[in-house]
Structure 1
Amino acid sequence: MTPIIEVHHLSKRYRIGRAQSYFSLRDSINHFFTKPLFLRNRPRQFWSLHNLSFQVEPGQVLGIIGSNGAGKSTLLKILSRITPPTKGTVDLHGRVASLLEVGTGFHPELTGRENIFLNGAILGMSQKEIRAKFDEITSFAEIDNFLDTPVKHYSSGMYMRLAFAVAAHLEPEILLVDEVLAVGDHQFQRKCLGKMRDVSRGGRTVIFVSHNLESIKSLCTQALLLDKGRIIASGSPQDVVSRYINNNLQENQVDTGRYPILAQDNSLTLLSFSLLNSRHKPSHTLISGNEIHWSASLKFNRLPQSFNFVIALENENNSRVVTIASQPSLSASVITKTGRFTLAGSCPGINLQPGYYRCAVGIRFNDQTVLYQPSLGFITIRDNSTSMYPGQNGLVRTDSVWHISHEH
């Protein structure tokens, strides 16, 4: 089978330089004699992509993941022919529809109806072909009452719904989708993911960039991991996502490197925070079902009337699966003067599924959230060697008691 997308030794370079300010004649003469010749007008260079090569077969859904600045959006812009590569070649064997960011692909002065026909014409479709898809597009986008309104008056959500509906329903052979689905609500995101599955089942190809790792694993058949413009992993979505999380785990473990953290109202400072295993030792790996302990060092700059410390664990899909909070009355009897305090606690074993979890903490001071750190790093939850739940799905496991008896 001939690949529908072929990328060979692709690289992209950007030039970084300051905007030229106004110079008088005296400034220009002074610049000529004082600035070394080899430094004049020499912009810095930044390579966004380095020597990328890969192929995509017809009907495949390729997921592209990586940290911010890894080169994902630059790659899609080159595949969409919005920006040219500096080196290498890209061969696309089919019509391409792209949904890269809210605001691209539509003329703001034209109505929703006119933009549907404009995009179809750009894809090489006849008006008859566009009319045959028109009702599907408007039904999917849910903007029937605003079809004859210029799209410059649309909300970002309306714009996104129409843009995705147009890109997905005008039957391109290749559909490129960036992280724009974050604009829509949860129900619409599910609707878009379902449509992309339908597109791929119809033999068309989808390239999908997302930070939602669960969507990558459930939707894609292959995946690429980019890091600083290079492909560092490719293969099954499960394997590539695991590699990505492992890399993040090594770089962003829960540790003391990011402290101290000052509350936004200067009421206190978080000096350190650690999660501890069942032996009270700091650890980035915890066993499912075992006790969890924690310790935090705080400096109070003012006396609180009430004080809450909250620990949260979030899974790969950014869904919170555990929240542990202190009692609101914690400060009344102990925090009677300013200075440094140690806060420690524990909870019985939480039967989380094995995997990687992001740790977040929040602090409420006098019923106001004054400090929130959405990511203090990653921890690993491993299976207990005596686990009774092999291969079980879901977010949390629970202990249970079962009986079986013979019926007479």
Structure 2
Amino acid sequence: MSRAIIKVENLSKRYRLGLKEKRSKTLAGQVGNIIKSPWENFQRLRKLSKFGEEDESVFWALKDINFEVKEGEVLGIIGKNGAGKSTLLKILSQITEPTSGKITLNGRVASLLEVGTGFHPELTGRENIYMNGTILGMTRREIDRKLDEIIDFSGIEKFVDTPVKFYSSGMKVRLGFSVAAHLEPEILIIDEVLAVGDYEFQQKCLGKMEDVSKNQGRTVLFVSHNMAAVQNLCSRGVLLTNGKLHFEGVTEKVLKSYIGGNSSTYFLNLENNHIKGEGNQKIILRTIKISGSLDEDIPVFPRKDVFVSLDVDFKEGFKNQGERIDIRIDNRLGQRLIWYSTKAENMLKLRTGKLTFKIPQCPLVPDEYVLTVFIHDGHDVANWYPQVMNFKVEEAAYFDSGMTIPNGQTSFIYPFELINTYK
């Protein structure tokens, strides 16, 4: 039985959020704020010193995290943005210290957390290999021995003697990953940096991580929003939710828990659930409903019509300046299957009310899927709701089980119809 190479016990990380600075229009008011500030800070510290008492400035990025990672294991760490994944990796990489708890690392750690971490922009790629390798714990002799292999893997041979400040973000990722991967650490920590690289390099990195874990017996911690990569690479996973360990187990069960595979709710009120998209908020999405009927709440079946209804509100009125609403349907591994856009429907006249995408003869096979909604006001992003809602296509009769995506094709445009119901 392999030993635990990483052990995390009751790990917590607390931050104190900066409060909005108090400003006064008069000199006397500003002096008064300066005099009161030390007293207010003292009061906050008093509250923090009392067990269980915290003010609004306290934020727990991680709270009582416990897990172990065995030698040679590839652990996937998943969760929504802000769940605490990057904070956890920074603590494990010893970049930041925990507020409480204990971590035990039995081996040398190499981490790649951000694009170009440890690079000096004025130095060439070759010089940065030596500097970054030294920072990560490699000796000069070790770097000399692996230099050609590092450069070849990174694929930037032509630019290796060019200052890094002229590199693209993808080139920095290539070089950074190559140095970290060839360090031969007992523990390799990878954050969501592979998303910057192109497809070919991503496949090369995934192959390298697989080789490091399976053939060399080293441990890999892998954070990614690419569920297909997590499923293919990781034997086990942990799911973080709001700084807490929500689920731990085999990868398939963790992924199912993350995407809400058991959810049967196909109606979502964004306002009641305090879901706010990214954008200028000039167009608001209020509710989402997915059903097998326009008038009834019935399950979604393959080869039957599907209706995706959006209750939208043009706060500043519809100006006919290129406004559009897109919906994207991904499978449970985060792979895009279908993308619909109102831009494809010339006769559409958007107003405040319900916009319904009718998908004739649903082309999806029985499985769990995730809906993403994108809203553009014609000039800028009005709202962007990634993976906002889960839904399931139910099992149907054996000979009526839906269509499959053609081999080698990851997404396609399927005929759809738009229906407006005005208030």
TM-score normalised according to structure 2 size: 0.76
Alignment of 1:26-175 (within 5 A): 26-27=31-32, 31=36, 38=43, 44-175=57-188
Q: Distance in 1 between matches of 2:285 and 2:179?
A: 49
Q: Secondary structure at the match of 1:287?
A: coil
Task: Report the CA distance between 1:83 and its aligned residue.
Answer: 0.7
Task: Report the CA distance between 1:99 and its aligned residue.
Answer: 0.2
Identity %: 41
Q: Distance in 2 between matches of 1:303 and 1:19?
A: 36
Alignment of 1:275-354 (within 5 A): 275-278=290-293, 280-282=295-297, 285-295=299-309, 301=317, 311-324=327-340, 328-331=345-348, 346-354=358-366
Deviations 1:93-131 (A, max 9, x none): 111110001132223333221222223333443323222
Q: Secondary structure at the match of 2:392?
A: strand
The one-letter amino acid of 1:292's match is V
Equivalent in the alignment of 1:356: 368
The one-letter amino acid of 1:274's match is K
Which of the residues 198, 221, 236 maps onto 2:235?
Answer: 221
Task: Report the CA distance between 1:314 and its aligned residue.
Answer: 2.2
Which of the residues 185, 208, 215 maps onto 1:195?
Answer: 208
Equivalent in the alignment of 2:389: 377
In structure 2, stretches of 5+ residues that fail to align are: 49-56, 412-423
Task: Report the CA distance between 1:34 and its aligned residue.
Answer: 8.7
Equivalent in the alignment of 1:401: none
Q: Distance in 2 between matches of 1:92 and 1:34?
A: 41
Select between 28-37 and 369-378 the one with higher mean Cα deviation.
28-37
Equivalent in the alignment of 1:209: 223
Q: Secondary structure at the match of 1:179?
A: coil
The one-letter amino acid of 2:105's match is L
Task: Report the CA distance between 1:356 and its aligned residue.
Answer: 2.7
Contact 2:146 2:182 in 1 (8 A): yes
Task: Report the CA distance between 1:279 and its aligned residue.
Answer: 7.6
Structure with max Cα Rg: 1
Q: Distance in 2 between matches of 1:148 and 1:305?
A: 48
The one-letter amino acid of 1:382's match is E
Equivalent in the alignment of 1:405: none
Q: Distance in 2 between matches of 1:289 and 1:317?
A: 22
CA RMSD of aligned residues (A): 4.1
Q: Distance in 2 between matches of 1:330 and 1:133?
A: 61
2:249 is aligned with 1:235: yes
Aligned pairs, number: 385
The one-letter amino acid of 1:63's match is G
Q: Secondary structure at the match of 1:9?
A: strand
Equivalent in the alignment of 1:400: none
Q: Distance in 1 between matches of 2:22 and 2:312?
A: 48
Q: Distance in 1 between matches of 2:380 and 2:96?
A: 44
Task: Report the CA distance between 1:387 and its aligned residue.
Answer: 5.3
Select between 241-250 and 85-94 the one with higher mean Cα deviation.
241-250
Task: Report the CA distance between 1:151 and its aligned residue.
Answer: 2.0
In structure 1, stretches of 5+ residues that fail to align are: 397-408
Task: Report the CA distance between 1:289 and its aligned residue.
Answer: 2.7
Distance 1:131 1:179, change over 3 A: same
Distance 1:373 1:254, change over 3 A: farther
Q: Distance in 2 between matches of 1:215 and 1:141?
A: 20
Q: Distance in 1 between matches of 2:144 and 2:231?
A: 35
Q: Distance in 2 between matches of 1:118 and 1:353?
A: 51
The one-letter amino acid of 1:38's match is Q
Equivalent in the alignment of 1:11: 12
Equivalent in the alignment of 2:52: none
Distance 1:33 1:154, change over 3 A: closer
Q: Secondary structure at the match of 2:180?
A: helix
Q: Secondary structure at the match of 2:110?
A: strand
The one-letter amino acid of 1:330's match is M
The one-letter amino acid of 1:136's match is E
The one-letter amino acid of 2:395's match is D
Q: Distance in 1 between matches of 2:280 and 2:136?
A: 51
Task: Report the CA distance between 1:203 and its aligned residue.
Answer: 0.7
